[in-house]
Amino acid sequence: MTELLHTPLHELHSELGARFAPFAGYDMPLRYEAGAVAEHNWTRASAGLFDVSHMGVLEVIGADAAVALETVVPSDLAGLSPGTSRYTVLPNDDGGIRDDLIVTRLDDDTFQLVVNAATKDADRAHLADRVGDRVRIDGFLDVGIIAVQGPAAVHVLAAHAPAIGAMVFGEQVNFPIAGVCCRVSRSGYTGEDGFELIVPADRLAAVAGALLADERVAPAGLGARDSLRLEAGLCLYGSDLDETTSPVEAGLRWVIQKRRREEGGFPGEQRILGELADGPGRRRVGLAPTGRRPVRPGTVLLVDGEEVGVVTSGTYGPTADAPVAMGYVTSGHHQVGTELVAAQRGREEPVAVATLPFVPHRYVR
Amino acid sequence: METPSDRRYTPAHEWVQIVSDDPEGTRVRIGISDFAQDSLGDIVFVDLPEVDRSVEAGETIAEVESTKSVGEVYAPMTGKVAAANAELEDTPELVNEDPYGRGWIAELVVADMAGFDGLLDAEAYAGTLD
């Protein structure tokens, strides 16, 4: 096995008492001394600080950048205003998903892409292959990313730059935080109001330290991040999305704006447009176990003893105060309230198809 | 990390404490160690054994689930389940908060206590954690 990579905050995590776990090739904090449930609850009540520096940040530059990128993603990028972001996917040629990502237009000719750690090298190679002759691809940038999530996040950051309070969800602006120019976006992966900060790698620890000095902020690890995003109904690439799932099956049809549905011109369009017209064969759904036992990824879902789906994410939701899960079921079994049986480790437990998200989003729009 | 000396331990990070004499043998209480609960993280569900079930030494008698993983609890000795800690049904976090006290998992009645002497004392168990 190759050595695990460290983010620029590894030493800080150790000082904060982190318990580490390998994630996408990185040695990442799973939890700190408070524990995953306390970190989850603190994020919903105040503000959690997450290190997400394992993700990759690229820039795609050129007069032709919007048009070129639209050949690899199904979203409308030509219509994206500078300083705003859009969640999208990189479909493969069969309509599955290579990765999910956030695209931000920095100016007319420059797009910033934030991609997942496990897929970042393949993503860059794919971009070079498909659009490398039309645009310049810079990166990965020598930066780290911290997310500050929760209702207090805006107050914490506005203390450094008051104008941050006027931002809306999906906006990105440069602001000085603790004397360091950061790319600040109002976004996140918890369902809460919050921000993500892209910071030069060598200044990341200083910015994180300044934010943690605010008593409203506590560090939160991957454990809390997983239960927060699952309660918010957000997909984890590699679990809920992969090369076989289409964006339509995944309930991400909203990433394909009207013009792109009409014009097509993206990888996998035959399957994706076909599923938009006729409906997909399976669908991502929320799953609520009726007992207190969490259902785990890989658990098979049955109706009358017949397999109709599989769990792709599952844990205990501290805010829901119940087990929460997501998975895919054959269309027809996807209506909210449908009763299924989860068969795991020789045991059968009832679960019901549930509305996503489990906990309402609190984005500031 | 705490390791009370009023009980014995297994290499699988469980503790066994003699509670009382019983007409059918000796009643022992079992649970998981401070190290075990700390390694698992926040415990969100405990699958308790049924009372009166007969169990063989080494058999899985309970499952302790944290937010991230599932830990199995093995019967440290052959016996019969005499009690399960029903308090854990609604407050599984007691295993984290008080692993040697209110976070106990089950009680067994054990006819043959020979296995007990083969378990680790507190000092020996603490030594395995270094």
Contact B67 A292 (CB under 8 A): no
Q: What average pLDDT does the segment B60-64 reach?
A: 96
Res B1: pLDDT: 81
Q: Report CB contact under 8 Å: B68, A223.
A: yes
Q: Is residue A222 part of a domain?
A: yes
Look at chain A and report how many structural domains it folds into: 2
pLDDT digits (tens, 9 = 90+) for A152-184: 999 999 999 999 999 999 999 999 999 999 999
Mutate to test the interface with A, among B64, B67, B69, B95 (most CBs of A within 10 A): B67
Q: A360: domain CATH number?
A: 2.40.30.110
Q: Is residue A272 part of a domain?
A: no
ipTM of this model? Answer: 0.86
> By residue range, what is the domain housing residue A26?
10-52+142-231
Burial class (CB within 10 angstroms; exposed 0-12, middle 13-18, buried 19+) of A3: exposed
Judge contact between A213 and A43, C-beta under 8 A: no
Note the pLDDT tens digit of each residue in A55-83.
999 999 999 999 999 999 999 999 999 99
pLDDT tier, A1 (very low <50, low <70, confident <90, very high otherwise): low
Identify the domain boundary among A231, A247, A269: A231
**Co-location of A154 and A19 in the same domain:** yes
- Do residue A363 and residue A295 come from a single domain? yes
Cis status, amide bond into A357, omega within 30 of 0: yes
pLDDT digits 0-9 by tens, A118-151: 999 999 999 999 999 999 999 999 999 999 999 9
Residue A190 forms part of a structural domain: yes
Paired residues of B84 in beta bridges:
B106
| One-character DSSP codes across chain B | ----SSSEE-TTSEEEEEEEEETTEEEEEEEE-HHHHHHH-SEEEEEPPPTT-EE-TT-EEEEEEESS-EEEEE-SSSEEEEEE-THHHH-TTHHHH-TTTTT--EEEEES-THHHHTSBPHHHHHHHT-
Whether A2 has a pLDDT exceeding 80, the answer reads no
Task: State whether A211 and A287 are in the same domain.
Answer: no
pLDDT digits 0-9 by tens, A226-239: 999 999 999 999 99
Q: Are A166 and A365 in contact (CB under 8 A)?
A: no
Q: Edge to edge, what strands does the sheet with B25-32 contain? A: B8-9, B14-22, B25-32, B106-110, B79-84, B54-55
Residue of A nearest to B45 (CA): A293
Question: Do A203 and A320 share a domain, yes or no?
Answer: no
DSSP category for residue A36: H
- Residue B65: which of A223, A227, A294 has the nearest Cβ? A294
Number of A–B residue contacts, CB under 8 Å: 43
Q: Are residues A37 and A184 in the same domain?
A: yes
**Domain harbouring A156, CATH code:** 3.30.1360.120
Whether residue B44 and residue A296 make contact (CB cut-off 8 A), yes or no, is no
- Residue at A237 is within a domain: no
Residue A100 in domain: no
Query: Domain check: are A146 and A46 in the same one?
Result: yes
- In chain B, residues with a C-beta closer than 8 Å to the C-beta of A35 are 41-42, 96
One domain, residues A296 and A187: no
A146 and A40 share a domain?
yes
Give the domain-ending residue among A193, A211, A231. A231
CATH code of B8-110, in short, is 2.40.50.100
Q: Is the pLDDT of residue A92 over 60?
A: yes
Q: Within 13 A of A86's CA, how many CA atoms are on the CB side?
A: 24
- On whether residue A35 sits in a domain, the answer given is yes
Percent pLDDT > 90 in chain A is: 98
The residue to which tokens 């809390």 are assigned: A224
**Closest chain A C-alpha to B76 CA, distance in angstroms:** 22
